[in-house]
Chain A
Amino acid sequence: MNLDTIVKELDLKVLSGQDRLDAEVSGGYVGDLLSDVMANSKEGDLWFTRQIHQNIVAVASLKDHAGIVVIQGAEPAADTLEKARKEGIPILASARPGFETIGRVFNMIAATKSPEEADI
């Protein structure tokens, strides 16, 4: 499933990386502790976080994430968006709470996978 499908289904606001919405999303990771995200997220993950400072861009870039979703209507700082645009990292904003946002994306991705590979 690509990022664009998720953006449209959840009506996410695209704040950066408009030209990277064809990125394949293979799974997701949820976390606000950057070391936890560094250690446990995977390539192609969509990362859900409440953090909005510019260091989230480095983490997503270093871990080859498909993009970052900031939840609960959080607004990333201006320097975060500037850095994300420079590095081509999609930042998407969800007006909904994290639980709902993540649940909906989980179901979308799970529906595209067979039960054997449902470990997303």
Chain B
Amino acid sequence: MWKGLTTNVLSHDAAIYENSFPVEGGTFDNAGHVSSQIKALLTRMKLSKKVVRRAALVTYEAEINICSYANRGRIHLRVTPEHVTVEAIDEGQGIADIELAMQAGYSTATERIREMGFGAGMGLCNIKNFSDFFRISSEIGKGTHLKMVIRIDKDFDGI
């Protein structure tokens, strides 16, 4: 499922930074750690605050999903002069019905997850709303792959 254009421009520009960060699944003890690291990195790269916050937000939601639903995963960050690309790849239960999972308010979160204020069925919607390109694919029993792209040059209100 793609949001926006399905062009290949994303892979054309050369990376000025690229790295993978492991995320522990099944626990919230370190939740947000990778997002914080990525926020600090992008801030040091002198990207605008809005771009940094959008990247931090989509990374955070993806990280929380790995903590909530996967056994383990990783977040891959790629920065080019034009885009920040965040991919979240996990080994986990996968999503049975992606269209349903994308609906605002739909959640399969357990009581334990909801008690902490997660699992409101907003995570994937936030990711979609705050990225310029978004793709999700998933396989039951294998895992889920999210790709989010944020355009560095684009002015984006509301964050």
**For the complex, what is the distance from the CA of A62 to the CA of B64, rounded to whole Å?**
13
Given contacts A38-B126, A39-B126, A58-B36, are A33 and B117 in contact (CB under 8 A)? Answer: yes
Chain A interface category by residue count: 20 to 34
Most buried by B among A43, A58, A64: A58
Q: Does chain B have a CB within 8 A of A51?
A: yes
Interface pair B120/A33, CB less than 8 Å apart: yes
Query: A22-72: which have CB < 8 Å to B?
Result: 32-36, 38-39, 42-43, 49, 51, 53-55, 57-59, 61-64
Interface pair B126/A55, CB less than 8 Å apart: no
For B73, the chain A residues whose CB sits under 8 A away are none
> Which one of B13-21, B53-61, B76-84 contacts A?
B53-61
Q: Does chain A have a CB within 8 A of B147?
A: no
10 interchain residue pairs of minimum CB distance: A58-B32, A35-B122, A33-B120, A62-B56, A34-B117, A51-B117, A39-B126, A32-B117, A35-B120, A33-B117
23 A-B Cβ contacts within 8 A? A32-B117, A33-B117, A34-B116, A34-B120, A35-B126, A36-B122, A38-B60, A38-B61, A39-B122, A39-B126, A39-B130, A54-B29, A55-B28, A55-B32, A55-B118, A58-B31, A58-B32, A59-B32, A61-B39, A62-B32, A62-B57, A63-B53, A64-B53
Residues of B within 8 A of A (CB): 28-29, 31-33, 35-36, 39, 49, 53, 56-57, 60-61, 64, 116-118, 120, 122-123, 126, 129-130, 159
